[in-house]
Structure 1
Amino acid sequence: MFMFEDEANNVQDREDLLAILKMRFGEIPPKIIESIYDIKEYDTLERLILVASNAPSLKIFLEEMEAGSGSFKILGERFNPVEATHQGGGTSEKE
Structure 2
Amino acid sequence: MDQAEMERFVRNDREDLLALLEMRFETVPGSVREQIGRMDDLNELQRLILAACNAAEWEVFREELNAGKGSFKLTGERFNPVANPSGKGASL
- In the TM superposition, 1:1-95 aligns within 5 A as 1-84=1-84, 93-94=85-86
Q: Within 2, Cα distance between the matches of 1:23 and 1:60?
A: 16
Q: Give the deviation of 1:17 after TM superposition.
A: 0.2
Q: Within 2, Cα distance between the matches of 1:42 and 1:63?
A: 19
Q: TM-score normalized by structure 2?
A: 0.90
May I ask how many residue pairs the two structures share in their alignment? 87
Give, as a single letter, the amino acid of the residue that structure 2 aligns with 1:67. Answer: A
Q: Within 2, Cα distance between the matches of 1:73 and 1:2?
A: 29
Q: Which runs of 5+ in 1 are unaligned?
A: 85-92
Q: Which runs of 5+ in 2 are unaligned?
A: 88-92
Q: Within 2, Cα distance between the matches of 1:57 and 1:78?
A: 8
Structure 1 moving runs of 4+ over 6 Å: none
Identity of aligned residues (%): 47
CA-based RMSD of the aligned residues comes to 1.2
- Aligned residue for 1:82, secondary structure, equals coil
Structure number with higher relative contact order (C-alpha < 8 Å, ≥ 6 residues apart) = 1
